[in-house]
Amino acid sequence: MNFVIFDDEKWSNFFPITFTRSTGDLRVGILKLRQRISSYLEITDTNIIISSHLESIYKERHTDWGVNQVKDKKTIFINSRIKIDADSKKAIMNLKIDECLMHDDTILAAKINPKKQNINSENLQDLFSNLKKNQNSTIECWEFLWELIAENSEYIKRDFNDVFYDKDNYFETELGTTIINPYNVWIGNGTMMKPGVVIDATDGPVVLDENVTIMSNAVIIGPVYVGKGSTIKVGAKIYEGTSIGPACKIGGEVEETIFQGYTNKQHDGFLGHSYLGEWINLGADTNNSDLKNNYGQVSIYFYPHKKKIDSNSNYLGVIIGDHSKTGINSTINTGSSIGIGCSLFGAEIIKNHVPSFNIGTGAKTYEYQLEDFIETADLVKKRRALSFSQSEKELYSKIHKQVF
């Protein structure tokens, strides 16, 4: 059976993070949404349908993937936003030809024998017309970024049990390292823990992926995931519900936060109930609030509506898009949204919504010129022996023209 994972029209619900990536590449728990679907359905080849804006950059980065191409063969199409589990897997695999699985007006999955063609998220509905609709009220999809933050702890536990749990994962630690409930801990090859480290997996698993470095006196309280090649700095306090993607450097105090990857928060300062993209740098002593003084529900800017909406959550910190940065001693208010390519500094509190490509203080910002942004972004990536490619330049140029 051929499988294709598709982004639907609600990919904009997850801006600013999905300005630069597929909905399927959002991280929650240990895995990305696409990876979890592939794991459940035992999909070996990667075929995706994404926005036309992302097509060039994905084809550049993933030459072995099928990107926005449909083959002339029987195919099951799966919505990248689906909350995949055993029940939804069964419903998907039981689909008949020319039938789609739906939750209200959302297509969760479809089984068809399409003609060979090029397609993208914008014209995807043409592919699913005239299908028999099979309604399922129990299968749900992700709707908002803050849902991923709220459910991250549970998904770390789920992914640990489904993918990482291994009774034979024996490991040796440095003298002076403390691991509580070691059967709830998974440590990858090449990972080092320095003396004074405490790993507490009493209330949830801790997964330290390959080539992770945990520096002296850091404390990690599960459920927590630390991605490949990441570093946890001296004396860091990493609390439950935190997922750290690959190649990050994280210090200070972090709680209930998701880092996509390649992001630095090296210094002291609190970050809680937040979602950060890639290539972000938080200056020393950057702090955010994740709870209002009146303990009320938090509102946050929602791109499709171009205004703030109620998150239905009492805890919500900040959402930060790729390549944004804060200066030292920056303060971020509850329920803030920072677009991509921003550079913020100064004593004034950062609050509400900062559109993409803005530079300045919390009180006053001005447009960050595209040429200056690209120059800085290229320097940042060169520090990791990478380059800011032509496809990236074209994508960020498109986003810059729209200035969300």
Higher-confidence position of 204 and 174: 204
Q: What angle, rounded to 10 degrees, do the helices at 33-41 and 86-93 form?
A: 60
Domain annotation for the chain: domains and CATH numbers: 2-143 (3.90.550), 147-402 (2.160.10.10)
pLDDT confidence of residue 125: 85
What's the whole-number mean pLDDT along residues 304-313?
A: 96
Q: Where are the alpha helices (DSSP H) in 317-403?
A: 370-382, 390-402
User: Helix (H, G, I), strand (E, B), or coil: what is residue 186?
Assistant: strand
pLDDT of residue 170: 60
Q: What is the pLDDT of residue 286?
A: 98
pLDDT score of 175: 73
Looking at residue 168, what is its pLDDT?
63
- As separate numbers, helices (DSSP H) first and strands (DSSP E) second, the chain gives 7, 40
What tens digit of pLDDT does each residue of 51-92 get? 999 999 999 999 999 999 999 999 999 999 999 999 999 999
Give residue 169's pLDDT band: very low, low, confident or very high (50, 70, 90): low
For the segment 196-212, what is each residue's pLDDT rounded down to a tens digit? Answer: 999 999 999 999 999 99
Structure tokens at 119: 């397609």
By three-state DSSP, how is residue 221 classified?
strand
Residue 177 scores a pLDDT above 80:
yes
Separation between Cα atoms, residue 218 and residue 194, nearest integer Å: 9
Residues 140-146, mean pLDDT to the nearest whole number: 97
pLDDT category, 1, cuts 50, 70, 90? confident
Contacts of 159 (CB under 8 A, 6+ apart): 29, 30, 31, 36, 207, 225
Q: How confident is the model at residue 381, as a pLDDT? A: 93
Residue 171 has pLDDT above 80, yes or no: no
pLDDT score, position 137: 86
Q: Encode burial over 365-386: b for 16+ CB neighbours within 10 A, e otherwise.
A: beebebeebbebbeebbeeeee
In the predicted model, what is the mean pLDDT of residues 101-109?
95
Residue 402: per-residue pLDDT = 83
Q: Which position has the token pair 């209002």? A: 292
Give 370's contacts (C-beta < 8 A, 6+ positions apart).
357, 396, 397, 400
SS3 386: coil
| pLDDT per residue as tens digits for the range 339-361 | 999 999 999 999 999 999 999 99
Written as one string, the DSSP assignment of 321-370 is -TT-EE-TT-EE-TTEEE-TT-EE-SSSPB-SEE-SSEEE-SS-EEE--H
Give pLDDT, residue 129.
87
Task: Write the single-letter amino acid at 41.
Answer: L
DSSP codes of every residue in 72-105: SS-EEEEETTB---HHHHHHHHTPPTTEEEEETT
Helix (H) or strand (E) holding 55: helix 55-61
Residue 164 pLDDT level (bands cut at 50, 70, 90): confident
Residue showing tokens 């950060």: 276
Mean pLDDT (the chain) is 94
Q: What is the pLDDT of residue 41?
A: 95
In this structure, the chain runs to a length of 404
The Cα 155–Cα 44 span in angstroms is 22
Q: Using only the alpha carbons of the chain, give its radius of gyration.
A: 21
Share of the chain above pLDDT 70, in %: 97
* pLDDT tens by residue, 227-242: 999 999 999 999 999 9
Report d(CA 272, CA 385) in Å as an integer: 30
Give yes or no for a contact between 381 and 39, defined as CB atoms under 8 angstroms apart. Answer: no
The pLDDT of residue 167 is 56
Give residue 91's pLDDT.
95
What integer pLDDT is reported at residue 214 of this predicted model? 97
Mean pLDDT, residues 209-218:
96
At 263 the pLDDT is 97
For the segment 91-117, the average pLDDT, to the nearest whole number, is 94
pLDDT of residue 172: 67
Instruction: Enumerate residues 6+ apart whose C-beta is below 8 A from 331.
Output: 286, 287, 288, 349, 350, 362
